Structure 1
């Protein structure tokens, strides 16, 4: 069976709407994070994963890169900036000496605590205000299986590195 080479009008419209929403929302979030925390979006993702999602406040760099869908080299650079600012610390992993573990500091937790209220407000205003509770559930029900399908592929860190 030959591969389909085009999208139907509904698929194309859904794709463009999704990309527009994602781009506009990311812009609004990035602006708020810069103004209130002097953070880039990826720096916020790293700090939030460590401060809010990790029970220990620490994760391996590879796991962080996979979780935030960012290159290993880019993540290393961003973690270095956060470390210089005193928001994270990096150390060799106790489980694997080849790995590096990143941990959020008290200062990093304080920055997250400072930016979260504004972050939530941007999300409410930009994403959730035009939706009813049922719409929000429908949006979740549509996006979660798509996300899970995309994340079912091997993580980026498992892929081979291209040499230049």
Structure 2
């Protein structure tokens, strides 16, 4: 018996119902993401850019630490930095040193960037409704949201524990 055989035996394989559910979740997630991307594309903005802009727009004083943004949008700090650079070149955000420790960086939304978010928010919301919300009743939507919050908490706890062990 090989090492691969031992690893295969220890796997908790998905049963048929779990496999169907998992594939539906995966495909559905991809299709919703694609619909949101396609809605924003004619405006020259990617979903990642819009998400970053909107997270900053919702923050007090339209400013948010880059590290916090990376956690919120579930992207690496490097990816968030690259996205911020593109937005900065367009004049929609500015990077500023944090006031409290001067080591961190805050992303600040400019007035022009805020105008972009206000213009694109209805486009984004319409795509979310058309791709997802219009196909679920409110109770199912809220239950799905709660289930996904459980997934986020479980995975964030794993990341936090991994960070403590390092």
Structure 1 residue 91, shift from structure 2 partner: 1.4
Cα displacement (A) at 1:103? 0.6
Higher RCO structure, 1 or 2 (CA under 8 Å, sep 6+): 1
Root mean square deviation, CA, Å: 2.2
How far does the alpha carbon of each residue in 1:39-76 deviate from its partner, in whole angstroms, 9 at most, with x for none?
11111111010102x12211111111121111222211
Query: Which structure has greater helix proportion?
Result: 2
Larger Rg over CA atoms: 2
Specify the alignment match of 2:76 in structure 1: 71
Q: 1:46 aligns with which of 28, 52, 70?
A: 52
TM-score, length of structure 1 as denominator length: 0.85
CA distance in 2, matches of 1:69, 1:14: 23
TM-score (norm 2): 0.84
Aligned partners of 1:108 and 1:24: how far apart in 2?
A: 27
| Corresponding residue of 1:101 | 106
Alpha-carbon distance in 1 for matches of 2:93, 2:32: 26
* 1:33 equivalent in alignment to 2:40: yes
In the alignment, which residue of structure 2 is the partner of 1:148? 153
Cα distance in structure 2, aligned partners of 1:94 and 1:46: 21
Matched, 1:132 2:123: no
Residue deviations 1:62-118 (CA, integer Å, cap 9, x gap) = 111121111222211110110110100001112222211111111111111111111
- Counterpart Cα distance in 2 of 1:159 and 1:73: 21
Q: Of 31, 40, 57, which aligns to 1:24?
A: 31
Between 121-130 and 139-148, the greater mean CA deviation after superposition: 139-148
Give the whole-Å Cα distance in 2 for the aligned partners of 1:159 and 1:126: 39
Aligned length: 156
Gap regions ≥5 residues in structure 1: none
The Cα of 1:159 is off from its aligned counterpart by 8.6
